[in-house]
Structure 1
Amino acid sequence: MLHQLYPSVPHHYSYELNKDMQFAAAHYVPAEEAGKCRNMHGHTYFANITIAGDTLDSAGFLVNFSILKRLIHDRFDHSVLNSDTVSFSDKRPDRFPTTEVVARTICEIVQDYLDRTENRPRCLQVYLRETPTSYCLYRPKAVISND
């Protein structure tokens, strides 16, 4: 894979991990304003997930790369995103499978997993490229820790 530079997230953590992956998926955007995107069509999405933290787990990982692949690639690859009614909705615009919502959803899925780990790292950013000329960057609002 070619080296790619992504916008960086300033943070105070000791470790930063980035995972690149691709997945092919179809979708449609059920809104009149979506134009041609109202029709079912597909993309080869390219995602980069940025995770950071101060503590490694018992295996010496911030998070195991294979877990990230299982969480995202294995869930979305060769799927119709609209069929994943846990993540997306044809009735709520904030859950239509647009690039923005897919990026946010990836972050939510990853963070949900990370919140259940002993070392509790943070998903700081999801970069999601839908086409060679279009991408979205999602960064969740900072969470204040009581640690």
Structure 2
Amino acid sequence: MLQQIYPQVQHPFSYELNKDFQFAAAHYVPSDKAGKCQRVHGHTYFANITVAGDKLDETGFLVNFSTIKQIIHDRFDHTLLNEHEDYFNNEVPNLFPTTEVVARTIYEMIAEYLASTENKPVCVQVFLRETPTSYCIYRPVELLRQLQGGRF
């Protein structure tokens, strides 16, 4: 895997963990305005998840790298994203499996897991590359505003 440099997000935490991984998945965007993307096609998605916090868990981790990968990879790898009806919906544009929505969904999945941990780290950024020349970044702006006392 190539070394990557990602945009950084400001946060008030002592620790920041970044996990890179990839997964292969197909999708289509069910809109007449989506052009070629309305046909089923696939990508090798490349993701970087940024987690931050102040407290380590009982193993000395902020969060285990493999857990982050497992949450996303095991669910989405070699699947048709449109079939994941718990996350995506072909009738609601804000839930079409576009790169933006997939990035937000990854954030929500990771955030839900982190909230269940004892040390409660937070996901502050999801970087999702769909092609070698196209990517999306999702940042939970409301969370970051809260963490930074509204100075974001």
So what's the TM-score if we normalise by structure 1? 0.96
Matches within 5 A, 1:129-144: 129-143=129-143, 144=146
Q: Which residue in 2 is equivalent to 1:17?
A: 17
AA aligned to 1:91 is: E
1:11 Cα deviation after fit = 1.1
AA aligned to 1:29 is: V
Q: Which residue in 1 is equivalent to 2:68?
A: 68
SS at match of 1:100: helix
Deviations, residues 37-85 of structure 1 (Å, cap 9, x unaligned): 0000000000000000000011111100111111011111000000000
AA aligned to 1:133 is: T
Indicate yes or no: 2:42 matched with 1:4.
no
Partner Cα distance (1:36, 1:78) in 2? 21
Indicate yes or no: 2:30 matched with 1:27.
no
Deviations, residues 116-138 of structure 1 (Å, cap 9, x unaligned): 10111110000000001100000
What 5-or-longer segments of structure 2 have no aligned partner?
148-152
Identity across matched positions, percent: 65
Partner Cα distance (2:15, 2:29) in 1? 37
1:32 Cα deviation after fit = 1.0
Q: Which residue in 2 is equivalent to 1:44?
A: 44
AA aligned to 1:3 is: Q
Count of matched residue pairs: 145
1:3 Cα deviation after fit = 1.2
SS at match of 1:16: strand
Q: Which residue in 1 is equivalent to 2:87?
A: 87
Partner Cα distance (2:65, 2:142) in 1? 23
Of Structure 1 and Structure 2, which has the larger fraction of its residues in helix?
2
SS at match of 2:74: helix
Partner Cα distance (2:32, 2:100) in 1? 17
Partner Cα distance (2:29, 2:132) in 1? 19
Partner Cα distance (1:40, 1:4) in 2? 29
Q: Which residue in 1 is equivalent to 2:58?
A: 58
AA aligned to 1:54 is: D
Q: Which residue in 1 is equivalent to 2:109?
A: 109
Partner Cα distance (1:10, 1:60) in 2? 23
SS at match of 2:20: strand
So what's the TM-score if we normalise by structure 2? 0.93
